[in-house]
Structure 1
């Protein structure tokens, strides 16, 4: 990457804590981003833990973001866990808290105590701003009451309470609100005389806000420096007595039929007085124009004075270097509205947005998705093209290099074709590094967009992605200077014969090639390319010959939808570690695979059956085989490092590469069986023969449908296994026959039950215990238990412990009589600690099980 474009050094983490905390303050409601940032490094983990603004809003920050994916109960549980974790991390630091903002529903006494403990912890941390809003069901739970710790919070500047009772010893107790400037109370009970006592104990109080409070009839303030009072509807006052010489703003909304008595003779500096009697309507607003201007100026000065004591509003963001601000702007690629708003903040931001080297123009993702509710399609499209033209023109006026150009849109006429062509040529002349172009068009009225020959001389390009764009007309025979190109991705476009070979020859450092649904050629040829590492060819390309000479190639994927397999010549690719193929069986498959001695992941998805497959490889760790009839198929494996073998008896038609990722939690010998229909006797017999022939498998997982009645007819003795794990989602009437089948087929040394949302856990545990004992010699075997990292020596002690109904994990461990308790518990610990390494998962899905 050129030094003149974007320096990838992480200078953000080098900034002082107070600047990073200021940046984090803009992410208060974005919990997902905050959590992601905490795992970036130890530096960011410490920063997020020491962030002095703690924001816990259940509905604004959690339910709004997660409600589409998770249910209400799960989101609430995760919210309380997050609050507990964040508070614990913060309180471990020797720092002061600035702001605590909590808004949530309290459902039970446990949550009440939890929040009470948190508030006391933060009040002892020199808290400045406290905003607490709790909801509750008055039929089942009383209102949350704040503890007396609040009364000694001398550092508090702002206090906002909603549906929270004030401390019981407020009147008569020692209140030390020495710094309090703002007091806001809503929907809570207030004792008679509490307002007078609070204002007397808060000598620098400037503003009071009351709404829908009850329990008192008199609002009294004596000899105070108060400047602003707002009393909204819902408070049935009879008398208001205010002795505040500096009071400038007073608002009262009364919903009583009789007006309250007002005594405000000492408020000589009052500039704004608002009074309204509301009978179920909305509040009024009347202010004289001259008075309104004066009020606005005074309110602004008062607000600025208050903020100086709470949060520093200095715009330090604009003081940062351009490369840091460009890095921040990179997170706003899809948010066009925010980008445009930022450009008009100041001349500084106007220049910054104009010089931003990442040009992102996605019509559907960024424009239509945001504006379709307000404007019609035609208007949005016109605005999109104007924005592209304006942004590219502004950028090209700057003496800087471009890094990324990402355009996706529909071309409707020749004028738009010329516009995009002109923009591409301008940006390519700016030292572009990443180019991603995706154009749609109507083939009945318009030909496909063709890239100009300017592309061929783009020597700075490192990544080129094209979708429905014709390559330059003078590609073959022209001078191509892709000296820096590392990634080439082409989809749904015509490619002439020989173009792939010419492109790879002109791109000496090319590492990855991605092709999908391209047409016009039958041969994929790469000659003597020492840097190519990855090739992916997806369906829609009807190749007849693939010739790859790339010694460092490590990953090859091919999806063929022809009736005949292509000819593959890849003998020089000795370092190939992953091979994925989907389509008609390759000729001489065994001989072909023997060319790759270091292969680790093998995926074969075959459209017709093959008779045999022999694999001998000491490095192979993952094998997936589709569409082979195990009844007629001879599979011979000599693979000592094999971790996972997945067998499917049907053709899927695609290469699911995610299944080839290594799982370090597994030891050697895991087999997964996926069938299209119920598992019959012949299949199971063939499976048993295969397992006995390949004794490396210690771990077996069935997926899809198991015919319980058929399996009960099998006369094979139970297969000896180290461990069985059952993910139970059934009640006892369904669970019992399933367990019978499992123990009929297998004889495990240990068994784990994962019980979710069970009402009769005790019955399940007793039934399983009895069935496990029946497998062993009576009196020769004991069974010990482990539940949620706790160990038990007998069944009664286990049943006496409480079970969590939503999630419970219990392990049964068989042990021969005669071993000491110490050795037994040691073995229990070994089994439970390596549970994910020694597992037989028999996953029974209720919706797919024939019981």
Structure 2
């Protein structure tokens, strides 16, 4: 039953209390609904209609105008005409009545000269009505739409995400409030990008690359005879410009970029947050950036396949995340102000933390692809003991694993006491892969983990249909002995549905263990 039907059912009662709510609360309710449901709610009463007609969050998605049976994104001329007409009528109403607009999502499936003129008009209205967040996506690669100059005079704009558009170079730019800017490099002129970086000191720049477009020369790189070279730390040029950019996110839509990323640490001396995802950055470049960016506070590295042996040294770094780095062989961390450290790598990785704060939140994430074996448990324990830094461990089961744990070998190995942990997290298999192990194999699995580490809290995130979680709970309730120290008692600390609102069937159970 949809939202409109639920409200209509309630209205048949004696009192309609929801309609008596203030308009700003009705706006909040309607902004959580898709366009169709919000439209249905508007017919319930005049107050609902007034709230819907003045809602500050606008979602213009052509899918809502698609004819039944048509494929998604296959929009005929009639659909486009009705869709464009609806947008124009809506924006005219907001312009005439001076309704405030805080957010617009606009997806245009086709662009011709007439539609270009209309989009210019809609953006002008949005700027005049104090737009704060704009997401615009233009489909097709022919006759790309150029964002109008008035958009870059939007002093209220905080968030800009655009695709399929061109950002030409304009003289005027007053995006003094811009905090986030996401774009693809094929949409922006190099000089325009340089101006954005220079004029928007608060901006977090998020550039998503696609392999089909090839190299893009970023403004802090020097271009010499079609090649790129970095000014480096010790080779500063006399005419080198300093940029006020504080945040930069670089990600690739493909597996990895076909060219190495070279950044000039002198020009980026104000950078505080730096994030790489699926970028072909090298060990030396990571070392140079961490050392040379003297005010860098956050460094996030994800799925960078070229990294093998990294040395991160920084006196300013507070947050470090290295995830999906399963090809990493060695890492040395020297960061005396480090408050948060998350490392996702293989248990064979040699990791050394020279300096960090004693109360640093350190979490190790490891991925189990096929099986849990005795050898793997040996390696995990050795990794934790030698690193002697992690407070929590996350074990992700990518697919239903085979458990091959030889308990006799573990009993007879004198490798010292289990590693003390604050929390051990077990993340179950994907919703499409149901794990149905036997009780004996799960006992071996748990005994092996507790031989390896001794957590104060055991957290289990699993699919509701997965019988493994029920077996784990029953085994723990039976107080299964863990050879050297038996489990005395356990209590349920919390049960949460972390993704319930996104229609996930997962739940998280946190158990406090007493040894």
TM-score, structure 1 normalization: 0.42
Counterparts of 2:327 and 2:446, CA distance in 1: 28
Counterparts of 2:184 and 2:75, CA distance in 1: 26
2:181 equivalent among 488, 491, 496: 488
1:610 aligns with 2:305: no
Counterparts of 1:751 and 1:424, CA distance in 2: 52
Structure 1 segment 489-638 matched on structure 2, within 5 A: 489-491=182-184, 493-505=186-198, 507-508=199-200, 510-517=202-209, 522-525=216-219, 549=242, 553=246, 555-559=247-251, 561-571=256-266, 572-573=268-269, 576=272, 579-586=275-282, 587-595=284-292, 596=294, 599=297, 601-613=299-311, 615=313, 620=318, 622-624=320-322, 626-627=324-325, 629=327, 633-638=329-334
Counterparts of 1:669 and 1:315, CA distance in 2: 46
Q: Which residue of 1 aligns with 2:145?
A: 449
SS at match of 1:557: strand
**Structure 1 residues 544 and 403, CA, compared in 2 at 3 Å: closer, same or farther?**
farther
2:478 equivalent among 757, 760, 765: 765
Structure possessing the higher radius of gyration over alpha carbons = 1
Q: Which residue of 2 aligns with 1:311?
A: 14
Q: Which residue of 2 aligns with 1:464?
A: 160
Number of residue pairs matched by the alignment:
442
**Structure 1 residues 388 and 543, CA, compared in 2 at 3 Å: closer, same or farther?**
farther
**Structure 1 residues 733 and 524, CA, compared in 2 at 3 Å: closer, same or farther?**
same
**Structure 1 residues 339 and 465, CA, compared in 2 at 3 Å: closer, same or farther?**
farther
Task: Quote the offset at 1:671 in angstroms.
Answer: 2.7
Structure 2 gap segments, 5+ residues each: 222-226, 232-239, 348-358, 427-434, 461-467, 494-506
Counterparts of 1:388 and 1:739, CA distance in 2: 58
Q: Which residue of 2 aligns with 1:784?
A: 488
**Structure 1 residues 623 and 681, CA, compared in 2 at 3 Å: closer, same or farther?**
farther
Counterparts of 2:452 and 2:275, CA distance in 1: 34
Deviations 1:515-555 (A, max 9, x none): 2247597333379xxxxxxxxxxxxxx998699945672x4
2:301 and 2:323 in contact (8 A); partners too = yes
Counterparts of 2:48 and 2:459, CA distance in 1: 59
Task: Quote the offset at 1:467 in angstroms.
Answer: 1.9
**Structure 1 residues 351 and 545, CA, compared in 2 at 3 Å: closer, same or farther?**
farther
Task: Quote the offset at 1:372 in angstroms.
Answer: 3.1
1:601 and 1:621 in contact (8 A); partners too = yes
**Structure 1 residues 544 and 447, CA, compared in 2 at 3 Å: closer, same or farther?**
farther
1:731 aligns with 2:438: yes
Counterparts of 1:489 and 1:762, CA distance in 2: 49
**Structure 1 residues 429 and 569, CA, compared in 2 at 3 Å: closer, same or farther?**
same
Deviations 1:313-365 (A, max 9, x none): 79975xx987676666645662377279549x66x88777666555442212x
Counterparts of 2:201 and 2:285, CA distance in 1: 33
Q: Which residue of 1 aligns with 2:452?
A: 746
Counterparts of 1:437 and 1:788, CA distance in 2: 46
2:61 equivalent among 344, 362, 373: 362
1:583 and 1:606 in contact (8 A); partners too = yes
1:788 and 1:810 in contact (8 A); partners too = yes
Counterparts of 1:499 and 1:492, CA distance in 2: 11
1:524 and 1:545 in contact (8 A); partners too = no
1:420 aligns with 2:119: yes
1:335 equivalent among 22, 36, 51: 36
1:360 and 1:406 in contact (8 A); partners too = yes
Task: Quote the offset at 1:410 in angstroms.
Answer: 0.9
**Structure 1 residues 710 and 588, CA, compared in 2 at 3 Å: closer, same or farther?**
farther
Counterparts of 2:368 and 2:312, CA distance in 1: 22
2:54 and 2:99 in contact (8 A); partners too = yes
Counterparts of 2:425 and 2:118, CA distance in 1: 61
SS at match of 1:569: coil
1:695 equivalent among 385, 388, 394: 388
Structure 1 gap segments, 5+ residues each: 1-25, 31-59, 61-100, 102-306, 528-541, 651-665, 777-781, 790-805, 815-851
**Structure 1 residues 407 and 680, CA, compared in 2 at 3 Å: closer, same or farther?**
same
Counterparts of 1:391 and 1:753, CA distance in 2: 49
Q: Which residue of 2 aligns with 1:775?
A: 484
Counterparts of 1:482 and 1:810, CA distance in 2: 49
2:341 and 2:361 in contact (8 A); partners too = yes
**Structure 1 residues 706 and 667, CA, compared in 2 at 3 Å: closer, same or farther?**
farther
Structure 1 segment 337-352 matched on structure 2, within 5 A: 338=39, 342=43
**Structure 1 residues 548 and 746, CA, compared in 2 at 3 Å: closer, same or farther?**
farther
Deviations 1:728-753 (A, max 9, x none): 9743332343345446x537497969
RMSD over equivalenced CA pairs, Å: 5.3
Counterparts of 1:459 and 1:760, CA distance in 2: 55
Q: Which residue of 1 aligns with 2:89?
A: 390
1:645 and 1:670 in contact (8 A); partners too = yes
1:495 and 1:520 in contact (8 A); partners too = no
TM-score, structure 2 normalization: 0.64
Counterparts of 2:327 and 2:407, CA distance in 1: 19
Q: Which has the higher contact order (CA 8 A, sep 6+)?
A: 2
